[in-house]
A and B are shown apart, each in its own frame.
Chain A
Amino acid sequence: MTFTTFIQHCLTGISLGGAYALIAIGYTMVYGILLLINFAHADIFMMAGYFMIFAMSSLPWFISIPVVIIVTIALGLAVEGAAYRPLRMAPRMSIMISAIGMSYLLQNLAIYLFSALPRAYPTIEPLKQNFKIGEVSASLVTFLTPVLTIVLVVLLMQLIKRTKIGMAMRAVSRDYDTSKLMGIKINRVIRFTFIIGSALAAIGSILYFTDRMSVTPFSGLMPGLKCFVAAVLGGIGSIPGAVIGGFFIGISETFLIAFGYSTFSDAFTFLLLIVILVIRPTGLLGETITEKV
């Protein structure tokens, strides 16, 4: 492998990892607050892809992007309100099953509304410009994805550390019942978490699909599962962990294919999940919580 090829692979891997990281944050944040694995997250990501197709058919790209983010947030809130809020006091397993149901509902709704045939993702011209540095060639979106991911994560960390709602989020994730007793409006915190998660999923979907150009009702399935693994790998509940996990999976997947093991690229991700759960169930950055009696 020559140096240029190596750099080209790195670029592809980092870019894929960036998109994974943005989606993984959605998983990890909801888990941190609700102790719920939001299986519908991957399908919200897929739906955001369809929203972009419809928005771009009548609006220019710079209006479409905010529109898509807002509609995706609305969908995320609707899912939360319909499937999770009524079950707030139910056992965790019930909410989990409700999440799985929601995921299938969204998938089948997409099949019903948009058919299972792949739809071409619109081209966002400025993102698609081709750049050439020496022999390495890629579109702007490939360079932009990791940068944007890092910027968004830094902003998010600041928000959690420095604002009042951020403090409330940290409190709820530490101790749900006590924070409720202390007067924190739990539902507001949860809604806010879903707003951030869905917005990041929308941005992730724009970056991911601009590079891959076709959306089907099952487009969310594989990235969703991989991002879930990324969140577990980094330590579920930890935002920097999700980012590290996302990049790790994106890069290792790309290099596996590059070395000719494309047959095993998906298997590797899930093998990783098993290994992590066996060796270090809390993930790379997760903290061990001792159960109090």
Chain B
Amino acid sequence: MKKFISVFLALIMVFGVVAIGSPATVEAADEKVIKIGVFEPVTGENGGGGFQELLGIRYGHELFPTVEIDGEEYQIELIEVDNKSDRTEAASAVQTLLAQNVSVVIGSYGSGVSIAAGELFNDAQVPAIAPSATNPQVTFDNDFYFRVCFLDPFQGSVMAQFAKEEGATKAAVITQLGDDYSAGLGNFFLRAFEEGGGEIVANEQFQTNQTDFKAILTNIKAVEPDVIFAPSSITTAPLLIKQARELGIEATIMAGDTWENQSIIDNAGAEAEGVCVSTFFDENDTDNPAAKDFVEGFKEFLNAEEEYLTKNGGDGVAAVSALGYDAYCVAVEAIKAANSTDSVAIRDALVDLVYEDGVTGSISFDENGDANKDMAYIKIVEDGTFKFLKTVTVGGDEAEADD
């Protein structure tokens, strides 16, 4: 019986592979096609943000559906797979992409799945471009992983710089035990703030799923910091903000890119006013003509499709959508520069690529494959929404990953 089942399952798998494989070969015969893989979560814990990023990529594809290679017009085909925000699923999603012979891959939202997939892309020698994964480990020691956003060390420096510009001399840091993003970013801030001559008066940790922050906040209140830097998850944020205000703490509360989410304001209400976050992009930034065009076009694109609007939560332009769009454009530019569908040639083209028209600023890559960015946007909560406050520029050398 067992044998029968295993034979049966094996047969199903064989037919599955044949079924996936056959239409692709038919298409290739009809017209010249180059495939770009899209490796994003649209379900699981990061499904919401992943979908916003995917929207940016789809919008890019709508604007630039073809690319010219060697004088011939190639259709760009997007192959979308869902990595389900899960490291194990990520591996099989990558295998699906590789089996389809994609030339280049865009993704993913969430550093964890990107790190899990990195080795596979490296082994298959297919270049991948991450739009918004900020952890240094994603591109580190991997010649085929690139990214178009800034990194956590950079983000930490930006917030430290911003705190200093606001006149803060004493800072408190709150991080989540065992969370790479939170602990890493907190640490980078701490280092940058001390290097800038500031004093760290408290460095507190809390456990995953903790909902009571009163004890650590009481300690923080006693040392009277000017700012509190608390990079953490979206669910932790409103609890922390509310309990801090309840205890009578008036220091400015700051965090990283994850906090740029409307649900925090919805849950924390009036207490969220004055909270500052750093982010990749601002839709009201009028200095950059590419950004202006993108915002207008993308809003039209969203409004045309009911499903996009509901899943995006209105027609606001998320930073990850902009990054998704930029990642797609960079991929297309690299194909043009390589003048080939060969993935290794595209990878070599990415190394030297300079893309000036980026929505999130000009993009070129350093030796790690990280975008050279020197600027971040600071947003502040005012009247129940995130308002653009200022841009902060930090010297590029501080953005280097050192672990």
Contacts and interface: CB of A to CB of B under 8 A. Distances in A.
Interface of A: 1-2, 4-5, 8-9, 12-13, 16, 117-118, 120, 130, 132, 137-139, 211-214, 216, 218-219, 222, 254-255, 257-258, 260, 262-263, 265-266
Contacts of B242: 213
Given A118-B235, A212-B212, A214-B235, A132 B248 contact: yes
Given A1-B222, A137-B247, A258 B215 contact: yes
Contact of B211 (A2, A12, A212, A265): A212
A9 B248 contact: no
Contacts of B205: 262-263
Contact of B218 (A211, A219, A258, A266): A258
28 contacts: A2-B222, A4-B222, A5-B218, A5-B222, A9-B215, A9-B218, A12-B214, A12-B215, A12-B218, A117-B235, A118-B235, A120-B266, A120-B267, A130-B246, A137-B247, A138-B246, A213-B267, A214-B211, A214-B239, A216-B209, A254-B214, A255-B215, A258-B216, A262-B205, A262-B207, A262-B210, A262-B215, A266-B207
Given A137-B247, A212-B211, A263 B216 contact: no
Interface in B201-221: 204-207, 209-212, 214-216, 218-219, 221
A161 to B, nearest CB: 35
Contacts of B239: 212-214
Nearest to A117: B235
Nearest to A116: B45
B238 A120 contact: yes
A130 B212 CA distance: 17
Contact of B247 (A8, A13, A212, A255): A8
Nearest to B207: A262
A257 B215 contact: yes
B177 interface: yes
A122 B204 CA distance: 28
A136 to B, nearest CB: 9
Contacts of B247: 8, 137-138
Contacts of B218: 5, 8-9, 12, 258
B120 to A, nearest CB: 29
Interface of B: 177, 204-207, 209-212, 214-216, 218-219, 221-222, 235, 238-239, 242, 246-248, 266-267
Contacts of B212: 12, 16, 211-212
Contacts of A1: 222
Contacts of A218: 209
A262 B267 contact: no
Nearest to B215: A257
B307 to A, nearest CB: 20
Chain B CB within 10 A, most for which of A139, A255, A257: A257
Contacts of A5: 218-219, 221-222
Contacts of A258: 215-216, 218-219
Contacts of A13: 215
Contacts of A263: 177, 205, 207
A119 to B, nearest CB: 9
Given A5-B221, A8-B247, A262 B216 contact: yes
Given A118-B235, A257-B216, A262-B207, A137 B246 contact: yes
A289 B391 CA distance: 72
Contacts of A213: 211, 238-239, 242, 267
Nearest to A128: B246
Contacts of A139: 246
Nearest to A253: B215
Contacts of B221: 5, 8
B125 to A, nearest CB: 39
Chain A CB within 10 A, most for which of B177, B212, B216, B218: B218
A262 B222 CA distance: 17
Contact of A214 (B206, B238, B266): B238
Nearest to A216: B209
Contacts of A222: 209
A212 B207 CA distance: 15
A131 to B, nearest CB: 10
Contacts of B211: 212-214, 219
